[in-house]
Amino acid sequence: MGRMDKFRDFIWRILKASKLKIELGSIQKAFQEELSFKTKEVQKYISDMDQIWVSWKDLYHTDFNINRFIEELGPTLFLLWLSEVFPFDFKQLKSQCPKGPSTEDVLIEIFYDFTPDELQIIKDNLIAHWINDPEDQVAQLLFIEAVKSISEIFSWIIKHPFKIFTSDVNLTRENGTLKIHYFGAGRVVK
């Protein structure tokens, strides 16, 4: 199955399960169901990330400097999450995790360019599900939730509750594409 078919199926499942309702956590539940559906990909990601975390702890002789771990390796970890667990195109993704304002906070910036074909898939699925939201808004919501859904995996790997918060999202239409620039922060929740 090609990436565009996987993208189409992903959009279909999320819209069917959530109807894009935020109330009662419907969209978050739909993403949890999606992760359950993608068990093989999630398990591979967890296994790979666990090896990276263990190697990093051994190299730096610590497991308390989680923000430094994400500053150094977060860009790769986010790109792999979004392109291997979710069907976002790796070539259309960029990520960076600049130094945060404190030793506990991690800053996250992720860029993605939705292609005209991806936007058409979203639009077609919205019509099929009788959802009257603009595809730009839906693309943004789906991308944000895909990014935030890694929190539980990070928590499990580092053995500390970790949460990602969205601080801002910029959308720009350019040559038929939708460029998304996601700004967020992550931190260990105490």
**Domain residue limits, the chain:** 3-188
Separation between Cα atoms, residue 62 and residue 65, nearest integer Å: 7
Helix/strand/coil percent split, the chain, to 5: 60, 20, 20
Per-residue pLDDT of the chain (190 residues; tens, 9 = 90+): 798 999 999 999 999 999 887 666 889 999 999 999 999 999 999 999 999 988 888 887 766 678 888 888 889 999 999 999 999 999 999 999 988 887 778 999 999 999 999 999 999 999 999 989 999 999 999 999 999 999 989 888 888 888 999 999 999 999 999 999 999 999 888 7
What are the pLDDT digits (tens) for 142-164? 999 999 999 989 888 888 888 99
128 is written with which tokens?
């099929």
3-188 is classed CATH 3.30.1240: no
Residues, the chain? 190
Backbone angles phi and psi of 11, in degrees to 5: -60, -45
